[in-house]
Chains A and B, each alone.
Chain A
Amino acid sequence: MFDKKAKPSPRRQAVLDRYSALVDRLSPRSKMGQGLFRAFVVGGAICTLGQGFIELGLHCLDMTVAAASTFASVMIVLLTAALTGAGVFDKIGQYAGAGAFVPISGFANAMVSPAMEFTREGLVLGLGAKLFTIAGPVLVWGVSASVVYGVIYWLITILG
């Protein structure tokens, strides 16, 4: 196994394949229908709440459309952070899966939960170093991808 090029012998590979098939047969699967339904309901509810904040901003707080959208985002982040702090959001996440994630609530949870977790190791090397453990990869590759798409867009505009 320390030889990088060595592949298992065909006989060994057959044993591994047979074992893998046995494990597959005996392992429970995620319930797809239930997962989709829960994600739809909870994700939809969060988005509806966000729309509610936009309407509130537009009609009651006299905001512009841009300001109302920002207001809604801020409120969802605030609510998620508070629910994470209260120890409730992880249960919503376990129930709803991606439904609790795709709206910006997932991002707020990904920032607040490490903040809560790693404060014990100190504000600098604990909180400071680990705050982005979950959100970090999303930011790095999200920003990198947007740069690539920005360049492509720019090329299209000067050529087109």
Chain B
Amino acid sequence: MPTNRIGQSTIVLPGRPRILAGASIAGKKEGEGPLRGDFDQIIEDDLFGEESWEKAESRFQYEAATAAIAKAGLTPAQLDVALGGDLLNQIMAASMAARELHIPFLGLYGACSTMAESLCIASMLVDGGYARHALCTASSHFCTAERQYRFPLEYGCQRPPTAQWTVTGAGSIVVSGDDTRPALCRATHVTIGRIVDMAIKDANNMGAAMAPAAADTLTRHFADTGRSPADYDLILTGDLGRVGHDVLLALMQERGMPLDPTRCTDCGLEIFAPGQDTHCGGSGCGCSAVVLSGHILRRFREGDLRRVLFMATGALLSPTTSQQGESIPGIAHAIALEADA
């Protein structure tokens, strides 16, 4: 069988699947941040009119998904597969949203890397001819994440300075193989991440846990494709936050592939302003999802970006293994996006 692999671990997508549309729905705090103009909707009510945070998060996913499908000029029945995930136990926000969408559904868990994971798989499904149109969705909610991973919301503890703030929001993107439809950009390469664990155990310093995985995926992506950081207008990492971003820059410097800080940024740093008291920036599946489907796709549409490497990172920890003293497995998946020529 012919293979679409190059180098050790990168996949070329010869059909260059089309990103038709993206939609992003964000919460109040995100709506007060620097990217407020890029979101389709800003929801002031944390509960989104529902009776629990979990249902609210699921509704964020559902609304983002239906908005993205509509912007792509499609109906849900035309989607062959929906891929989605979130941070909740048993990814319930994604499953409950899929319950309403009636699209064949694959649930994913990649912690904060979920958006990249779903885009990688959707692009391969479309490129292989296994789906005509595919939907990728990811969400997180500050309130569901706090109660699951940390403390009750109203518990008055102090967040350490390395902590990141879980983004409330959902992003959704439609990937398509239909050549007659206009694309915002096209997916060209996928580099699937492997787990890198450098023995970081501090669940309040997830950037440090994920940065080595990001460096690993980046290094392999450049080696496989023969590209260098200069080949990308923007290298957009997932939610490394301030510490993880600085660590990644230092690691890539050490490896002789320095990243230009003006052309390498992190979704967690983009989404909040320094004055918003989030400490090291945003995190959560929703963070990279809303930054990509809102901000980055807008810049592609305006011709501001030609080639972007989107690499979302995940800290694959659970409260149980953290309490048992396990270190945090980190992961990063990369997908190269190019403007439609």
Contact = CB atoms under 8 A, between A and B. Distances in A.
Partners in one complex: yes
Interface of A: 8, 15-16, 19-20, 22-23, 26-31, 84-85, 87, 89-94, 97, 100-101, 106, 109-110, 112-114, 116-118, 120, 133-134
Nearest to B160: A30
A27 B156 contact: no
Contact of A117 (B154, B157, B162, B243): B154
Interface string B195-208: 00011100001001
A27 B154 contact: no
B155 A20 contact: no
Nearest to A90: B156
6 contacts: A19-B199, A28-B280, A30-B160, A89-B156, A92-B156, A94-B157
Contacts of B155: 90, 93, 109-110, 113-114, 134
B161 interface: yes
Given A20-B199, A26-B247, A134 B154 contact: no
A39 to B, nearest CB: 10
B340 to A, nearest CB: 38
A113 B152 CA distance: 6
Given A116-B152, A134-B152, A28 B147 contact: no
A134 B157 CA distance: 11
A16 B198 contact: yes
A31 B160 CA distance: 10
Contacts of A97: 158
A94 B243 contact: no
B212 interface: yes
B153 A120 contact: no
B158 A27 contact: no
Contacts of B243: 23, 26-28
B258 to A, nearest CB: 15
Main secondary structure of the interface of B (DSSP, over half): loop
Contacts of A120: 51-52
Given A90-B153, A134-B151, 7 more contacts: A27-B205, A87-B154, A89-B154, A93-B155, A94-B157, A113-B152, A120-B51
Nearest to B200: A23
B231 interface: no
Which interface residue of A23, A94, A106 has the most chain B CB atoms within 10 A?
Answer: A23
Contacts of B153: 90, 113, 116-117
Interface of B: 51-52, 147, 151-162, 198-200, 205, 208, 212, 242-243, 246-247, 250-251, 279-280
Contact of B247 (A22, A110, A113): A22
A30 B208 CA distance: 17
B294 to A, nearest CB: 28
A133 B157 CA distance: 14
Contacts of B154: 84-85, 87, 89-90, 109, 112-113, 116-117
B250 A22 contact: yes
Contacts of A106: 156
Contacts of A91: 156
A23 B158 contact: no
Nearest to B254: A22
A23 B247 contact: yes
A23 B208 contact: yes
A37 to B, nearest CB: 14
B152 A93 contact: no
A84 B156 CA distance: 8
Which interface residue of B51, B151, B152, B161 has the most chain A CB atoms within 10 A?
Answer: B152
A13 to B, nearest CB: 9
Contacts of B250: 22, 26
Contacts of B198: 15-16, 19-20
A100 B152 contact: no
Contacts of B212: 19
Contacts of A31: 161
CB-CB nearest 7 A-B residue pairs: A93-B156, A117-B152, A113-B152, A113-B154, A113-B155, A28-B161, A23-B208
A30 B279 CA distance: 11
A32 B65 CA distance: 45
Given A26-B246, A27-B243, A28-B243, A113 B151 contact: yes
Contacts of B52: 120
